[in-house]
Structure 1
Amino acid sequence: MRVLKKPAAVWIAFGMFSLVELWLAVHFRENDVGEYHRYALLALTPPWLHHWPKEYPAMSQFIFLLPLLLPFSYRFSFAVLTLVALAVLLSEGMKHHGTQWGIKVLGYLSVGTIGLFSERYDIFAALFGFLAIDQALQKHWSWAWTFSVIGFLLKLFPAVFWPVFLIAEWRETHRIRWDRLALSLLAGLAMVGFQALLASHQAFTSYRYLLNRPIEIGSLAASLTALLSHPHLFYAFGSVDVTAHGLAHFIGDSLTLVGIISWLAVFWAQWRGSLDIIEAAILTLGILLLTTKVFSAQYLIWLAPILALKRGNLSFILAYLLTSLGYPVGYAIRGMFPWVIYIFAARNLLLTSGFVLFVWRQTRSVSSIVYKQGISR
């Protein structure tokens, strides 16, 4: 076990992970990277930057352009860049959180995302999301907000950390920094404005795309729909989606309400000091994953580096494993696809139980501390 505590162990594991990802990038081609390549070429077609991704935030375009700078095929170059981003994540994270954290991150990614890690650009947003949390832990609030804004401009999800940062800084300084929130929102609007200046017809396209998406097969709403009825599966918006005579959308809307209430509960617990920054961030992101109408397999890349900051549990590990079983395995093996929605349902049940256990442990820990303080008095 001493070997696992040395940085070399992390980089050996990273090397093995990289070899597998590069091999998969060459031999198993997925549509997403081809779509990124198409967006990059359209961006360089005169007039420049007149075409933007319709389903991703505008800043993602610059990620899609980067592979064109390397002297390899687009797919191989994109895979190399995702691994560079992972290397930066590991290097920066181990400075403050040690090699055990690095091993845990690679463990989560290997179990749950090995088949798609280098086929999606989510690691770039995950990198900035983690850096935001890491800087918040160091009380470097300006950097924390800056990194979260960059992540938001790439993939939107780091915006859920903004209330966590507001509360954490208030607990330290007794000031609510509304100016930081305002500047973050202005940065988002500025990017939309930049996009509108170059291509007015595509302003807000990624936001409209997200709002118009139906219930995706991997979401908790789809899982509950499958358990309560016989849903119809159809392909739209680049994914397999679910409908069931209005039931799926009713469940999706109900989960949205549950998510909002759950967020408020997390923020209240953090405000009272029952949750620290990491715990609040993990729960806030977990609520987003479980209550939104889209839960693609690659979204677990966002969670891995933050989840690794705390003690995990078997439910999380099994949830990551079932994610890989659902996608890409369930899509690749003939005859297995009808079971995919139920595999994701089991995954979502395990992920939910993992977060419940996480909260229970924290509640028990806080109660124990309060009890000991009362005894000492």
Structure 2
Amino acid sequence: MQVDMHLKSKRRPMQFLQLIFFLLDILVILAMCYCIIGKNWMKPTDIRSDIARYECYAVAFAHGDGAFQHFPSRQCAPILGSPPKATTDSVVASLKKIGAPGFIVQFVASQSPEKPYHYLPLEYPILALLPFALAAIIANAIYYQIAFACLMALIAVGIYLVLLRYKSRTSALSFALWMMIGYLLNRFPDTATGRFDLMPGALTLIALVCAMKSRWNWAFAFLSLATFTKFYPVLLLLPFLIAQQQAPRYATLKWNAWRRLGPLATFSLTSIAIVAISLLLSVAGTLNPLTYFGDRPIQVESFQASLLWLVNGMDISHLSVVYTFGSLNVLGHFGSLISLVNNALLAVGMLYLLWLQWRGKLSLPMATILLLMLVTLTGKVFSPQYVYWLFPLAAYAMGEQRGWIITWAAFSLLTVWIYPILYETVHAVILVAYKPIFWQVVAIRNFLLFTMCIYAYGAATLHKPEQTRSTSETLSRAGKPILTSTDSGPIATISSI
């Protein structure tokens, strides 16, 4: 009797503490949704926004590209003003030129974008249509923006809950902080819910969680889904593959054993199925996103743009600013050389990262976030929404260390300062490039990311690799599942930077 009373007295504080944490999570989630939805809440669709362009894609897919004429002329202008390189007619002509079988030529010729279900986005792979179309289904044209913003907010909530369940409350709170940081400046940076980049970020996080729980087939399947939402996750295939091959369950198998190749086969088959569906709908639409990015010039917020500004004497008069591909871009002397150098840095950085991971100096979470940081840094484009590729993985890999939390918060703050704050100070987008402070803030943000990459690479290089441990779940003394040290990784143990 006394034992039972003693146990009950110990449970009451624990239950009260759990209730407090539950209420804290609810408050954080509500605050995060309030902050990231921002001015999209209860606001009719802004025809100049990216969401309005997504609506054009959704309706054109469902009804054919003739649906563009039913929208205000400015709403679909970014799409109509960027004619695709590959059209149904050009693909048919190419097939005839190489002597393709007649039934293939006829099949492609039947994929007229004027017909329903044959118009695909110019710059995005096919799975990007899912949130576009879902928002169109649940809301009419006037309130499409509200529906889309709510969908993205739900994905943000999902990321918070995944981090809470499979990592820690500290990581989840770090993610929420980085998402809400702009509200501290009395701004509602609706970038998170005004773009769809949280979707591939969430799918990539789920793939990482599955990998850390040794569910490798699911991990590679989700990585494939993320890739065909936005192409960048395909670069994570190699870090995932190295981690899978080094996992204890595969380490003792022969290099060509089927079990070793099974997860990679899962990725391949999933990708083939998605590509096949895309080709069945539109061969031209499948090809266009592959050429879209390669044609883009240097975007003004990228690290390459900062370098271009510096080598031209920090004088904007030596640069040419243009509005193309739906963004503000910059041209100038040494632009081609800077792009070439950054491509070389990307190649060398990826190879060195994979070598560090192979040597056991980088965990999979750290290899994943560091590779995405490298890709973001060396790319020609660094739009503000790209931070939502980074935040979920950064919260998982680094969100428990005070130094990283503060650094990522500063990175988020600088990004919000660039957009929307500086952009809101001009009445025409192109004018923001002629504000001297714009280039300074962009350079500070980009060199902060550069410093973060250098620090992480240096710390990994100096780290002494530990013996390989299992990534499978073990039980803590409290009886709750935790992950072994492979989860946190050698670099994630650094407490400050």
Q: Could you state the TM-score of these two structures normalised by the residue count of structure 2? A: 0.69
Read off the aligned partner of 1:131 and give its amino acid letter.
I
In the alignment, what sits opposite 2:49? 31
The answer for unaligned runs of 5 or more in structure 2 is 1-16, 65-114, 183-187, 313-317, 468-497
Unaligned 5+ runs, structure 1: 371-377
8 A Cα contact 2:38 2:190, kept in partner? no
CA contact (8 A) 2:298 2:304 kept: yes
Q: What is residue 241 of structure 1 aligned with on the other side?
A: 329
Q: Deviation digits for residues 284-307 of structure 1, max 9, x if unmatched?
A: 111111111111111110111111
Taking the aligned partners of 1:228 and 1:152, their CA distance within structure 2 comes to 35
Give, as a single letter, the amino acid of the residue that structure 2 aligns with 1:68: A
Task: Select which of 338, 347, 357 maps to 1:251.
Answer: 338
Matched residue SS, 2:330: strand
> Cα distance 1:329–1:191, how it changes in 2: closer, same or farther (>3 A)?
same
Distance 2:366 2:284 in 1: 41
Q: 1:37 to 1:183 in 2, by over 3 A?
A: same
The answer to whether the 8 A contact 2:356-2:460 is kept is: no
Question: Is 1:119 paired with 2:189?
Answer: no
In structure 2, the residue matched to 1:40 is 58
Mapped to 1, the partners of 2:341 and 2:465 lie a distance apart of: 35
Superposed CA RMSD: 2.5
The residue that corresponds to 1:273 in the other structure is: 360
Once residues 167 and 61 of structure 2 are traced to their aligned partners in structure 1, the CA distance between those partners, rounded to angstroms, is 39
Return the letter of the residue paired with 1:14: I
Q: Measure, in 2, the Cα distance between the counterparts of 1:3 and 1:323.
A: 35
- Of the candidates 75, 78, 82, which is equivalent to residue 148 of structure 2? 78
SS of the counterpart of 1:234? strand
The code of the aligned residue for 1:226 comes to W
Partner residue of 2:441 out of 325, 343, 348: 343
- Whether the 8 Å contact between 1:316 and 1:350 is mirrored in structure 2 is no
Question: What is the alpha-carbon distance in structure 2 between the residues aligned to residue 16 and residue 104 of structure 1?
Answer: 14
Aligned 1:203-214 pairs, distance under 5 A:
203-214=286-297
Letter in 1 for 2:381: V
Q: How many residues align?
A: 367
Conserved? CA contact 1:313–1:354, under 8 Å = no
Q: 1:134 aligns with which of 209, 213, 216?
A: 209
CA change 1:66–1:115 in 2 (3 A) is same
Q: Distance in 1 between matches of 2:18 and 2:438?
A: 38
For residues 163 and 202 of structure 1, the distance between their equivalents in structure 2, rounded to whole angstroms, comes to 27
CA distance in 1 between counterparts of 2:221 and 2:330 reads 37
Q: CA deviation at 1:363?
A: 4.7
Higher Rg of the two aligned structures: 2
State the one-letter code of the partner of 1:148.
Answer: L
Percent identical pairs in the alignment equals 25
Q: Distance in 2 between matches of 1:151 and 1:237?
A: 23
1:297 is the counterpart of 2:384: yes
**Displacement after TM superposition at 1:274 (Å):** 0.7
After TM superposition, the structure 1 = structure 2 runs for residues 102-251 of structure 1, keeping only pairs within 5 Å, are: 102-111=172-181, 114-172=189-247, 173-174=250-251, 177-178=260-261, 180-181=263-264, 183-185=266-268, 187-229=270-312, 230-245=318-333, 247-251=334-338
Residue 99, structure 1, aligned to residue 205, structure 2? no
1:375 corresponds to which residue? none
CA contact (8 A) 1:115 1:324 kept: no
- Rate the CA distance shift 1:341–1:134 in 2: closer, same or farther, 3 A: same
TM-score under structure 1 length normalisation: 0.90
Which residue type is aligned with residue 18 of structure 1?
C
